[in-house]
């Protein structure tokens, strides 16, 4: 599994949404219904599963599923 696929799997698991709903422009709060606690749970799961770390600055810029995938992709390159 690529890191991007793993990331999508984590978002699906934490948000409880079907993979079809995880389009790049799906917003974490508006579409996936995440509040601050859920959002942090997502960050922690991503960090643990993908063995990456988000800084506070990184985290503040993550609004959509696409933002997360782009971040993960940047790390792989």
Catalytic residues: 35
Instruction: From residue 67, give the alpha-carbon distance in Å to each of 22, 52, 75.
Output: 12, 15, 13
Residue 61: count of CB within 10 angstroms of its CB: 10
| List 13, 30, 73, 76, residue binding another protein (CB under 8 A) | 30
Should residue 70 be labelled a site residue for another protein when binding is judged by CB under 8 A?
no
If the CB atoms of residues 53 and 73 are measured against another protein, the closer one turns out to be 53
Q: How far apart are CA 75 and CA 58, in angstroms?
A: 12
Region binding another protein by CB under 8 A among candidate stretches 5-13, 16-24, 41-49, 69-77: 41-49
60 binds another protein (CB under 8 A): yes
Rule CB under 8 A: is residue 35 a binding residue for another protein? yes
> Is residue 33 a contact point for another protein (CB under 8 A)?
yes
User: Which among 55, 41, 45, 38 has a CA at the least distance from the CA of 7?
Assistant: 45
């Amino acid at each position: 599994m690529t890191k991007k696929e793993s990331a999508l799997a984590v978002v699906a698991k934490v948000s409880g949404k079907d993979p079809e709903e995880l389009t790049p422009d799906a917003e974490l709060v508006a579409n996936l219904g995440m509040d601050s606690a859920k959002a942090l749970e997502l960050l922690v799961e991503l960090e643990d599963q993908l063995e990456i770390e988000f800084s506070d600055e990184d985290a503040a810029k993550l609004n959509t599923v696409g933002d997360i995938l782009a971040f993960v992709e940047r790390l792989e390159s």
